[in-house]
């Protein structure tokens, strides 16, 4: 605003003052100077507006074109008059100038109508309508009473002059009307702030016109000077709005929408209107006041005052409520509600979102108490605020989840933000004498097209999930590769259920051999998916999808039934093998798990001691429940083995409490042996420990004869791996059995 005052208002006043004070005194020469000043101001305004029109690549070109044309016509009107003044020495304006000025007004009105159409004339706010109605009623009543009535009473105008007076009056009222709408648009609907100068320009122009009309029937040298000053400032103000439009950088436009309430400033227009009208009504009655009218006036102002007071207290309340609804009370950050609204608002074409969660908050809460947990969250919010970026928006979207939105993001700016984010959490938190290392996982997504915008939340989840897989202090960007992975995951999840009916799954069997005799004593059943589009898919990929989606329950039932049925058929052929079936955590925790096993065994006629369940160490995290289930299984005569032993968290103290019968040592321990790698060095100790606990020891991933001999030498009981056989189809496994166990030999029992 100060730039506007120092570049426009002050210079215009100074120049006019100098011209009036020091310029020529004869009317003709004085007017030429005034007119020339009009021309110069008009040309500057046209230049500003034309530059905005050329530079802008925005959708409001028609609006700018009309404004520019209006200014140009205005200048031309003055130009024609100036030429007449210089050439013919005439003082009054020629008819051509009046027509050009009329057209200029027409153009301004068209510009404003175009603008109204582009902003969609939002009349939803009732204060908005109320203010407009009050303002326009006052403007209309006053112009009729103070301009038209005296005009016709005092003057006896020609038809031509009446038409032009009426024309300008109507144009002025229209300009006022649309300018008032534009003003409220800037205030209520977050219109561009520089449009205020346009509104101001039109307001000054209309004020100049009013003074001019007053001058036609009353003379005032002061008003005469003021009219010209007003008109010149009006031209420059309209041009100035074009100048700002040209320099307007949409990047700097604050997209974040505060939830603005109505303030008393919004009532300035109607209050001024009511005040003015009251003053003029009183003046026309000759200020005749009696006790009744004074009382009425007093009441009128009291009611007005009370309205302002109520409005202010309502606003304060509303602001508080809105703040609570849109902010998180602990960190004072914007909350999930605001985040969701932000994502559905008109975000720019390119923006980025980072979603992050704290890795250790639950542990902090459990071990140090919730007060410290709260401090961790507050400190996290403070660290996020330290990420210096003008446009960055920070949200707390869940217990330990935060989100960052970066409008107008590019690949580079997002990378810089990701790095800065991770960097913020390298330093431990110092809270109440504790030094707490809080780590984060983060997933980010750079949105550059509308399609990705639709899927932003699942994309962020996918990226965050990947980051979690990679471990703390990783920020994973959702990119094309992840997109493919995600689409494939969605596809596989959708195909999973039908795949059982379509018989796309196949079970393969990998023998487990007695290390002393190398003869098969049982087999592990492993699943394969022959997908019609993606081909053969590894269980490593689709079992986790089945677990996440819950489909593992149905799939697991099918696996168990099929494996038991096949094993039973081998039994009937004279091979009493033990079948080992992998069981996922959700299956083990399913309330119908036990009954499902019993039903399957009775349906397939397989005896329980020929079934072994392989469970992972993660099942054992909940020791009490797991122990109960394992005990029930043992009571039924079913064996359980801990799969991939050594990769999880099970401690020896937990192991000896659990009724399991075997440990399957993870392949990573077998890989290095018999050379002494760190894993292989542990192997004899694990075996010795297992023997002490009276557990059957099974080694996975045996690939060489050397590994086989070494495992045998340290007392391991059973081996499984490519060295003996790869996972085989039913037919291949039958052949394998015939080879390895001629009919006079029978397999050993695995329960040792
Ligand atoms: P797991 O239960 O530890 O199975 C052993 C995995 O090691 C199998 O991979 C097997 O093919 C592989 N393997 C066996 N011997 C060797 C060897 O000498 N060298 C090497 N490099 N690998 C060997 P697969 O079939 O890809 O299965 C991977 C994992 O998927 C399994 O690990 C298990 O956790 C899961 N899985 C497989 N089938 C099922 C199933 O039917 N149900 C459930 N819940 N999970 C299954
Ligand atoms: Mg297994
Ligand atoms: Mg395993």
Angle (CA) 690-693-695 rounded to 5° is 60
Cβ of 726 below 6 Å from ligand 1: no
Tell me, in angstroms, the distance from the centre of ligand 1 to residue 526's CA: 6
Residue 640 backbone phi and psi in degrees, to 5: -130, 140
Ligand nearest to the CA of 540: 1
Give the closest residue (by CA) to ligand 1 atom 8.
526
In this prediction, what percent of the chain has a pLDDT beyond 90? 41
Residues 175/206, Cβ–Cβ less than 8 Å:
yes
Q: With a 6 A CB cut-off, is 643 part of the ligand 1 pocket?
A: yes
356 lines ligand 1 (CB under 6 A): no
Separation of alpha carbons 275 and 268, rounded Å: 10
Instruction: Check if the beta carbon of residue 119 is closer than 8 Å to that of residue 185.
Output: yes
Within a 10 A sphere around the Cβ of 83, how many other Cβ atoms? 14
Q: Please compute the mean of the pLDDT values over residues 359-364 and round it to a whole number.
A: 78
CB 413 within 8 A of CB 401: no
- For 608-628, the pLDDT digits (tens) are 999 999 998 877 777 778 888
* Residue 252 scores a pLDDT above 50: no
Candidate from 372-376, 400-404, 683-687 with smallest mean pLDDT: 683-687
Where is average pLDDT lowest: 110-119, 224-233, 252-261, 466-475? 252-261
pLDDT confidence band for 259 (50 / 70 / 90) = very low
Q: Are 591 and 629 in contact (CB under 8 A)?
A: no
- Residue 523 C-alpha to ligand 3 middle, in angstroms? 13
Pairing, β 535-537 against β 520-531:
antiparallel
Of ligand 1's listed atoms, the one at least distance from the Cα of 507 is: 41
350 with 447: CB under 8 angstroms? Answer: yes
For residue 664, which atom of ligand 1 is closest to its CA? Answer: 3
The DSSP result for 539-571, as a single string, is: HHHHHHHHHHHTTHHHHHHHHHHHHHHHHHHHH
Ligand 3 is an ion; its neighbours by CB within 5 Å are 643-644, 700
Q: What tokens appear for 4 in the block?
A: 């506007």
180/171 Cα distance (integer angstroms)? 14
Strands 440-447 and 505-514: unpaired
* pLDDT band with cut points at 50, 70 and 90 for residue 505: very high
Instruction: Give the atom of ligand 1 at the shortest distance from the alpha carbon of 616.
Output: 34
| Cβ of 644 less than 6 Å from ligand 1 | yes
559 lines ligand 1 (CB under 6 A): yes
DSSP states along 138-150: HHHHHIIIIIIHH
| CB of 17 shorter than 6 A to ligand 1 | no
535-561 pLDDT per residue, tens: 999 999 899 889 988 899 999 999 999
- Decide if 157 contacts 169 (C-beta within 8 A): no
* Start-end of H helices in 573-660: 585-589, 593-604, 623-636, 652-655
Protein residue whose Cα sits closest to atom 45 of ligand 1: 582
User: If we measure between CA atoms, which residue out of 286, 221, 464 comes closest to residue 358?
Assistant: 464
- Is the Cβ–Cβ distance between 544 and 476 less than 8 Å? no
Mean residue pLDDT of the chain comes to 85
602: confidence class by pLDDT, cuts 50, 70, 90: very high
Is the pTM higher than 0.85? The answer reads no
Residue 289: per-residue pLDDT: 78
Q: Tell how strand 611-616 and strand 662-665 pair up.
A: unpaired
Residue to probe by mutation, ligand 1, list 508, 526, 560, 611, most atoms within 8 Å of CB? 526
pLDDT of residue 125: 56
Q: d(Cα 638, Cα 632) in Å, to the nearest integer? A: 9
For the cut 60, the answer to whether the pLDDT of residue 752 exceeds it is: no
pLDDT band at 258 (very low <50, low <70, confident <90, very high): very low
Q: Cα separation of 116 and 401, whole Å?
A: 42
Which ligand neighbours the alpha carbon of 580 most closely? Answer: 2
C-alpha–C-alpha distance, residues 745 and 120, integer Å: 89
Q: Which ligand neighbours the alpha carbon of 645 most closely? A: 3
Q: Supply φ then ψ for residue 531, to 5 degrees.
A: -80, 135
Ligand 1 and 510: CB distance under 6 A: yes
Our measurement of the distance from residue 296's CA atom to the centroid of its chain's CA atoms, rounded to an integer in Å, reads 55
Count of all residues that appear for the chain in the document: 752
Q: From the alpha carbon of 723, which atom of ligand 1 is closest?
A: 18
- Cα–Cα distance, 281 to 287 (Å, whole number): 9
Which ligand has the nearest atom to the CA of 644?
3
Can you read off the two tokens belonging to residue 565? 């049925």
Residue 582 belongs to what H/E stretch? strand 578-583
Average pLDDT over residues 444-451: 87
Q: How far apart are CA 12 and CA 18, in angstroms?
A: 10
- Cα(540) to centroid(ligand 1), Å: 8
Above 70 in pLDDT, residue 268? yes
Ligand 1: distance of its center to the CA of 581 in Å?
11
Closest ligand 1 atom to 547 CA: 44
Higher pLDDT, residue 573 or 57: 573
For position 572, what pLDDT does the model report? 92
How distant, in Å, are the alpha carbons of 334, 609, 721 from that of 519?
A: 66, 19, 13
Tens-place pLDDT, residues 451-462: 778 888 988 998
Among 532, 511, 537, residue whose Cα is nearest residue 522: 511
The highest-confidence range among 29-33, 289-293, 648-652, by mean pLDDT, is 29-33
Does an H or E element contain 226, and which? helix 221-247
């Amino acid at each position: 605003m100060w730039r506007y005052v120092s570049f426009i208002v002050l210079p215009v006043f100074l120049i006019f003052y100098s011209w009036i004070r020091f310029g020529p005194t004869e009317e003709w020469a004085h007017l030429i100077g005034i007119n020339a000043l009009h021309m110069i101001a008009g040309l500057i305004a046209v230049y500003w507006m034309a530059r905005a029109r050329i530079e802008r690549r925005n959708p409001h070109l028609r609006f700018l074109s009309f404004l520019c044309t209006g200014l140009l016509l205005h200048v031309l009107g003055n130009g024609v008059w100036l030429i007449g003044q210089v050439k013919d020495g005439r003082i009054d304006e020629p008819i051509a100038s009046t027509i050009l000025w009329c057209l200029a007004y027409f153009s301004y009105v068209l510009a404003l109508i175009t603008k109204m159409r582009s902003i969609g004339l939002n009349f939803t706010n009732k204060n908005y309508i109320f203010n407009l109605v009050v303002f326009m009623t006052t403007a209309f009543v006053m112009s009729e009473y103070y301009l038209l009535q005296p005009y016709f009473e005092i003057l006896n105008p020609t038809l031509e002059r009446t038409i032009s007076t009426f024309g300008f009056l109507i144009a002025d009222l229209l300009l006022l009307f649309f300018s008032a709408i534009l003003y409220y648009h800037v205030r209520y609907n977050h219109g561009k702030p520089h449009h205020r100068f346009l509104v101001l320009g039109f307001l000054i122009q209309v004020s100049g016109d009013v003074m001019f009309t007053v001058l036609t029937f009353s003379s005032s040298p002061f008003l005469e000077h003021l009219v010209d000053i007003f008109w010149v400032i009006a031209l420059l103000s309209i041009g100035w709005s074009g100048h700002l439009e040209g320099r307007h950088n949409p990047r700097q436009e604050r997209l974040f929408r505060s939830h603005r309430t109505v303030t008393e400033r919004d009532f300035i227009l109607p209050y001024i209107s009511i005040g003015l009208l009251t003053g003029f009504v009183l003046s026309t009655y000759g200020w005749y006041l009696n006790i009744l009218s004074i009382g009425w006036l007093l009441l009128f102002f009291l009611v007005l005052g009370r309205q302002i007071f109520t409005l202010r207290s309502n606003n304060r309340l509303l602001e508080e409520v809105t703040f609570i609804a849109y902010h998180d009370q602990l960190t004072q950050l914007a909350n999930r509600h605001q985040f969701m609204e932000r994502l559905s608002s008109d975000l720019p074409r390119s923006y980025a979102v980072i979603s992050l969660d704290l890795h250790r908050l639950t542990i902090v809460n459990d071990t140090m108490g919730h007060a410290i947990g709260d401090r961790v969250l507050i400190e996290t919010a403070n660290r996020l605020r330290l990420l210096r970026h003008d446009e960055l928006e920070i949200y707390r979207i869940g217990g330990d989840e935060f989100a960052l939105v970066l409008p107008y993001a590019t690949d580079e700016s997002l990378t810089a933000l990701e790095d800065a984010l991770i960097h913020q959490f390298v330093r431990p938190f110092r809270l109440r004498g504790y030094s707490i290392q809080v780590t984060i996982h983060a997933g980010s997504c750079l949105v550059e097209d509308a399609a990705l915008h639709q899927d932003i939340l699942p994309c962020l989840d996918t990226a965050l999930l990947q980051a979690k897989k990679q471990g703390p202090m990783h920020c994973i960007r959702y990119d094309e590769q992840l997109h493919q992975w995600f689409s494939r995951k969605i596809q596989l999840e959708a195909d999973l259920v039908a795949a059982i009916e379509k018989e796309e799954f196949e079970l393969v069997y990998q023998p487990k051999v007695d290390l002393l005799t190398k003869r098969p004593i049982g087999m592990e059943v492993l699943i394969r998916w022959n997908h019609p589009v993606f081909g053969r898919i590894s269980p490593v990929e689709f079992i986790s999808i089945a677990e996440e989606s819950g489909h593992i329950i149905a799939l697991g039932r099918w696996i168990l039934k099929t494996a038991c049925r096949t094993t039973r058929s081998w039994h009937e052929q004279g091979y009493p093998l033990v079948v080992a079936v992998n069981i996922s955590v959700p299956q083990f925790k399913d309330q119908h798990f036990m009954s499902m096993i019993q039903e399957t065994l009775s349906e397939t006629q397989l005896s329980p001691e020929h079934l072994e369940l392989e469970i992972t160490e993660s099942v054992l995290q909940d020791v009490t429940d797991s122990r109960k289930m394992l005990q029930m299984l043992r009571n039924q005569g079913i064996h359980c083995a801990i799969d991939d032993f050594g990769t999880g968290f099970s401690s020896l103290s937990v192991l000896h409490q659990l009724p399991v019968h075997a440990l399957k040592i993870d392949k990573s321990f077998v890989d290095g042996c018999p050379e002494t790698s760190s894993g292989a060095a542990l192997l004899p100790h694990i075996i010795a420990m297992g023997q002490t606990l009276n557990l059957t020891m099974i080694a996975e991933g045996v690939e060489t004869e050397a590994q086989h001999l070494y495992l045998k030498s340290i007392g391991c009981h059973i081996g499984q791996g490519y060295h003996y056989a790869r996972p085989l189809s039913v037919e291949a496994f039958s052949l394998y059995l015939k080879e390895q166990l001629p009919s006079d030999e029978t397999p050993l029992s695995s329960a040792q």
